[in-house]
Amino acid sequence: MRSKTTLFCSVCGHESPPDGDWHESETTTEVGQRLTLSCPDCETTITRRPLRDRGVDAVVAGD
């Protein structure tokens, strides 16, 4: 059974906790700055959230 705090890539199946080995990047869009988590294996964007509170805790809280 997968923990609720596990993120997974729907393309390649990679799994890791939110503070695991995901690639973090910051981007600016028409709605402001965003934190993006991408898969370290296939580079697929897993989630993109407002950058109000930088870090994976803010990403999980936003889900």
**Predicted local distance difference test score (pLDDT) of residue 7:** 92
Q: DSSP character for 51?
A: S
Chain center to CA of 9? 10
Please give the chain's pLDDT, 63 residues, in tens. 555 689 999 999 999 998 899 999 998 888 889 999 999 999 999 988 888 755 555 455 544
Phi, psi torsion values for 59, nearest 5 degrees: -65, -45
